[in-house]
Amino acid sequence: MTGQQRRAPYLMAAPAVILFTVFIVVPIGYAIWLSLHAMRVRGAGFGIRTEVFIGLENYLEAIQDSALYEAMQRMLGYGVIMVPATMGLALLFALLLDAPRVGGKRASRITIFLPYAVPGVIASLLWGFIYLPAVSPISAALKGAGLPAADFFGDVSIFFSVANIAVWGSVGFNMVVLYTTLRAIPKELYEAARLDGASEWRIALRIKVPLLRPALTMTSVFTLIGMLQVFSEPATLRPMTNTISQDWVPLMRIYQQAFVDNDIYLGAASSVLLAGATVLLSLVALAVFRTRSARSDQ
C-alpha cells in the first residue's frame, strides 16, 4: 500500500472531522467555559465589570432554580403525549403503506412526509391560527353546529396543542425510516407466513414489528431527544396566549436567563445540565430497548 493510499481515508474523513469540531466540539467547549465564569464588579464606586472564574457556582444556582424544575415538569407532560403519539402513528403508517393491498402509496408517502419539510416556526404559526378562536375554522364549524368553541389554549389542552404541532411535523421522518426498513425485509418471509395461513394483521405483529426493533429504537431515541429540545412550538405560540409563560419549557428558561436576564453564564450552565440530561436519558433509553430486545430474542 502506497503512502497516498494510506492517507486517502484520512483525507476523505477530514471535512467531516473539521465540521464536527467547528460546529459541535468548539461550541460545547465554549459553553462549558462560560458556565465556569461570571461577570463581577470590582473596585470602588461604579467599579469595573470583569469576567472571573467562579467554578461550579452557576451549576449550583441552576440546580436550585425552581422555575427550571417547573419547566422540566411541563416538558415531561408534553413528552408523555408527543413521544407515544409520534411513534405510534409512524409505525401505523409504515405498516399500512407496506400492506400489499393498499393503494395510492406514493401519494400517501409524500403527504405524510411533507409536514416534516415545513420549518417548526412556520408550522407553529399555521397551527396557531387554527387554534385562535377568532380565526379558527374548527371553532367556526363548532359554532355553526351550535356547539361551544374549542379551547385549545386551556391549562390542560395547551399540552395537547403543542404536542400536536410536534407530532404533525415529526411523524413523516419516523415513518420513512420505518417504511424503508420494512422494504428491506425479504419478501419470502411474508410469503411463507401466508402459505401457513397467517393474516396480514398477524404478519405485521409477529414478523414486521419484531424485525423493526432496531429502527424503532433509533427513531424513539431521536423523538425523545426532540422532546427534550422543544422550543420553537411554545415560543411561537406564546404571543397568542397567556397560558404559555416565558419559561414554559427548559430551553425557554435558558433563553430567558441568557438573553432576557442578561446572564449568559448561568444560561450556559443550565444548557450544559440539559445537554447532560439529554445524553443520560438517551443512554438509559438505549439500554432499556436493548434489554427488551435481548429478552424477546431468547
DSSP 249: S
Tell whether the model's pLDDT for residue 228 goes beyond 60.
yes
Averaged pLDDT, 10-38: 92
The reported pLDDT for the residue numbered 98 is: 87
**What's the pLDDT band for 44 if we cut at 50, 70, 90?**
low
The neighbour count for residue 153, using CB atoms within 10 Å, is 18
131: Cβ–Cβ under 8 A, 6 or more apart, which residues? 152, 153, 161, 237, 240
The reported pLDDT for the residue numbered 294 is: 65
Tell whether the model's pLDDT for residue 233 goes beyond 60.
yes
d(CA 235, CA 121): 9
Is residue 218 helix, strand or coil?
helix
The reported pLDDT for the residue numbered 298 is: 58
| DSSP sequence for 121-183 | HHHHHHHHHHHSTTT-HHHHHHHHTT-PPP-TTSTTHHHHHHHHHHHHHHHHHHHHHHHHHHH
Averaged pLDDT, 219-231: 92
d(CA 220, CA 243): 29
The reported pLDDT for the residue numbered 192 is: 82
Query: Model-level pTM?
Result: 0.88
Mind listing the pLDDT tens digit for each residue in 61-102? 999 999 999 999 999 999 999 999 999 999 999 999 888 877
Averaged pLDDT, 125-138: 90
* Average pLDDT over all residues of the chain: 88
Q: Which of 282, 284, 257, 252 is nearest to 269 (CA)?
A: 257
d(CA 37, CA 288): 37
Mind listing the pLDDT tens digit for each residue in 151-164? 899 999 999 999 99
The reported pLDDT for the residue numbered 254 is: 94
The reported pLDDT for the residue numbered 49 is: 77
Mind listing the pLDDT tens digit for each residue in 171-203? 999 999 999 999 888 888 888 888 878 788 888
The reported pLDDT for the residue numbered 78 is: 95
Tell whether the model's pLDDT for residue 296 goes beyond 70.
no
Mind listing the pLDDT tens digit for each residue in 47-67? 677 888 998 999 999 999 999
The reported pLDDT for the residue numbered 147 is: 83
**What's the pLDDT band for 232 if we cut at 50, 70, 90?**
very high
- Give me 32's grid cell: 462549558
**What's the pLDDT band for 131 if we cut at 50, 70, 90?**
very high
